[in-house]
């Protein structure tokens, strides 16, 4: 959106300007909202991010890595296929459309997707980087944001908020000590995979490396390190608490679960049942691309022709403790085998925590806690249309509703749908058509069918 010209709802005075909404955090989801909002006349919003520019997971921009969703899951297409901010238009404008066509692969490279997002961000005047939101307050129907930006401190005002602050690297409690010691220079090398590329050369100087984790990032790090293990001479381990190295389930009827109908169904379930499903459905959104699993196996097989491969793949193994042994120059990782119920240790000079990401509530919300609805566990009580405010329709969240909307929450393919819903709530009209029924299957009991079949005795009675 052009925040400098679309000011129908704002004061003509810069000091008295009240935005229709302020979106905090500019990852793919809020960037998509910015792109979808840009052509909407009379809607005035601003997008704020403390980073100096858009850069999506720079520590994991491995050369062959690609998205796990097709190019149509870009910032805008599933809401507005005609948008000039589509991935295909990006390819056209940058002279790469025919190369992408000849490549015959629906899945963009991760670095390519990052370039696309940077291309979009560079065209939107409503997006302000290097602007940190420090505090928020509420008064007489308006949210006040104290920010620190390139021009110094200022206060921005908006009638609504959209929180897109994203997720932060998750570190298991058992690894917090060795990570803190490493950061302070008191122990060996320990890092989260979000820092992998920046410290890869340092990693490869160690005699042994252990990758902890079971998802796509763990597999990508392990595969790259395995490819280069012979050149550097390190021993390589891959440890997961899962029972096996699960592939991402990507069959078509399973993909129907990334649908408005399934979100409706999931959101209506009791809280405890939703929590159980989130735990049990991890292979639907945290699995490994099957081609990568096969590539890892093929590489292990090829290397085995010349002798034993100096690597271990350990399943059912949960990290229960860890410490640095200064004398030995290694970390001792304490592991528990879930199926056997046995404990064992593993020695490793370096540790990569490919343990995923988790949502952390931003500190700047402290001043508006009374405006936020919560469930009995203290989490955001996210309504079906992504609002968390005590007064519906004031504060919205992006990628913070896993516990209420299910495993589709971090899916890039559902970002445009969620933004269409949020825009409908903000504007009071359906700016972009919001799909309601796309699935062939039904997720709940069909209406009009008895909940149970009567017994013969009940029929006779």
Give the pTM: 0.89
Lowest pLDDT segment from 14-23, 83-92, 316-325: 14-23
Query: What pLDDT, on the 0 to 100 scale, is given for residue 8?
Result: 37
Residue 199: partners with Cβ closer than 8 Å, 6 or more residues away: 189, 191
CA–CA distance, 91 with 101 (Å, rounded to integer): 10
The 10 Å Cβ neighbour count of residue 394 is: 22
**Band (11; pLDDT cuts 50, 70, 90):** very low
Q: Please, are residues 156 and 22 in contact by the beta-carbon 8 Å criterion?
A: yes
Q: Provide, rounded to the nearest whole percent, the portion of the chain with pLDDT above 70.
A: 94
CA–CA distance, 387 with 381 (Å, rounded to integer): 8
> E strands along 140-197, which residues?
142-149, 152-158, 161-163, 167-169, 189-192
Residue 150: partners with Cβ closer than 8 Å, 6 or more residues away: 130, 131
The two tokens of residue 101 are 């066509």
Q: What is the mean pLDDT of residues 423-444?
A: 95
Using DSSP's 3-state secondary structure scheme, residue 348 falls into strand
In the predicted structure, residue 182 carries a pLDDT above the cut 90? yes
More confident residue, 392 or 160: 160
Q: Which is nearest to 144 in space by CA: 19, 49, 3? A: 19
Q: What is the mean pLDDT of residues 287-305?
A: 94
CA–CA distance, 147 with 160 (Å, rounded to integer): 16
How do residues 27-41 score in pLDDT, each as one tens digit? 999 999 999 999 999
The 10 Å Cβ neighbour count of residue 236 is: 20
The two tokens of residue 118 are 């940077």
């Amino acid at each position: 959106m052009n925040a400098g010209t679309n000011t129908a709802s704002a004061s003509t005075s810069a000091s008295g300007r009240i935005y229709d909404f302020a979106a905090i955090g500019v990852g793919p989801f809020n960037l998509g909202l910015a792109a979808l909002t840009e052509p909407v006349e009379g809607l005035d919003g601003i997008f704020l991010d403390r980073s100096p520019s858009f850069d999506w997971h720079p520590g994991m921009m491995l050369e062959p890595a690609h998205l796990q969703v097709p190019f149509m899951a870009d910032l805008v297409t599933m809401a507005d296929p005609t948008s000039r901010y589509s991935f295909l238009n990006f390819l056209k404008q940058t002279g790469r459309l025919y190369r992408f066509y000849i490549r015959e692969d629906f899945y963009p490279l991760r670095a390519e997707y990052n370039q696309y997002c940077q291309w979009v961000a560079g065209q939107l005047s409503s997006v302000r980087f290097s602007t940190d939101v420090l505090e928020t307050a509420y008064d007489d129907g308006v949210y006040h944001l104290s920010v620190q930006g390139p021009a110094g401190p200022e206060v921005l005002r908006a009638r609504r908020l959209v929180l897109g602050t994203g997720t932060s690297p998750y570190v298991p409690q058992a690894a917090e000590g060795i990570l803190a010691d490493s950061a302070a220079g008191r122990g060996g090398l320990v890092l989260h995979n979000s820092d992998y590329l920046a410290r890869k050369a340092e990693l490869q100087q160690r005699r042994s490396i252990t990758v902890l984790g079971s998802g796509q990032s763990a597999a990508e790090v392990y595969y790259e390190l395995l490819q280069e293990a012979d050149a550097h001479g390190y021993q390589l381990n891959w440890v997961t608490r899962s029972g096996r190295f699960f592939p991402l389930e990507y069959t078509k009827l399973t993909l129907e679960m990334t649908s408005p109908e399934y979100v409706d169904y999931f959101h209506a379930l009791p809280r405890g049942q939703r929590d159980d499903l989130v735990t049990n459905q991890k292979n639907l959104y945290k699995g490994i691309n099957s081609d990568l699993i096969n590539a890892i196996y093929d590489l292990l097989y090829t290397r085995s022709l010349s002798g034993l491969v100096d690597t271990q793949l350990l399943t059912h193994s949960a990290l229960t403790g860890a410490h640095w042994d200064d004398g030995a120059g290694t970390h001792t990782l304490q592991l528990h085998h879930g199926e056997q119920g046995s404990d064992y240790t593993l020695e490793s000079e370096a540790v990569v925590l490919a343990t995923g990401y988790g949502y952390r509530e931003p500190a700047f919300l402290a001043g508006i806690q009374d405006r936020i609805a919560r469930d009995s566990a203290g989490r955001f009580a996210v309504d079906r249309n992504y609002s968390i405010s005590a007064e519906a329709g004031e504060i919205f969240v992006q990628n913070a509703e896993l516990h209420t909307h299910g495993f589709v929450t971090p899916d890039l393919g559902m970002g445009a749908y969620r933004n269409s819903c949020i825009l409908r709530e903000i504007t009071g009209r359906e700016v972009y058509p919001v799909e309601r029924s796309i699935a062939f299957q039904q997720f709940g009991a069909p209406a009009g069918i008895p909940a149970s079949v009567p017994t013969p005795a009940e029929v006779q009675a």
